[in-house]
Amino acid sequence: MNYNDLTRSELLDLVNVLSIDRSFEIMKKEACIFHYDNISDGEIVLFIDLCNVHAANHKYSMAGYDRFVRNVTRTIRESDIIAKFGGDELVIILRSTADIKAFVARLITIMAENNIYAVIACTTSYNGLVATVEYLDKHVSYHKLLAERTGSKPDRSKDYECLASTVVYC
């Protein structure tokens, strides 16, 4: 494809297509950072690390597990921003902060109904989206490592079972 021959409208359509993750049907990390890295301090950000995706893919197939994730992401309020930040990491910027704990509880319920569990970290943004996500990722990594050491997180080679999600408010 020769990009020089595309019209402005065709280029915009291409950029839109390239900014969406097709497996989960949500925004990709790069597009999210481009549009939202300069979020105001104090906005609520969730970092969600889906657990045991490898084992879930074996049990339900990749297409099956992706469908479960799409079922969850489609329930996110239209006012909120959701993006795929890695293979199994999602970021949600909450635009309505009426009741964060109720939102997270509802999200966990919907995830469990779709055979998904995760380690979720929540905080208020500080110094932009990238810095906030890095902060949350450290907390999630710590809690996942702790779960592995205590045996409460099964090995990826074990048969998949949907366990309880862990929430960390930082």
Q: Tokens representing 106?
A: 């509802």
Residue 53 is predicted with a pLDDT of 92
Strand order in the sheet with 118-124: 20-21, 26-28, 81-84, 89-94, 44-50, 118-124, 166-169
- CA–CA separation, 139 vs 133, rounded Å? 10
Residue 1 is predicted with a pLDDT of 66
Residue type, 161: E
pTM of the model as a whole = 0.90
- CA–CA separation, 116 vs 146, rounded Å? 20
Closest listed residue to residue 72, CA positions, set 116, 38, 40: 116
We find that the CATH architecture of domain 9-169 is: 2-Layer Sandwich (3.30)
Neighbouring residues of 124: CB distance < 8 A, sequence distance ≥ 6 = 41, 42, 43, 44, 45
Chunked in runs of 10, what are the mean pLDDT values of the chain (170 residues)? Answer: 76 75 93 94 96 93 96 92 95 87 95 96 96 97 89 79 93
Residue 30 is predicted with a pLDDT of 93
Residue 159 is predicted with a pLDDT of 87
Residue 16 is predicted with a pLDDT of 72
Residue 78 is predicted with a pLDDT of 87
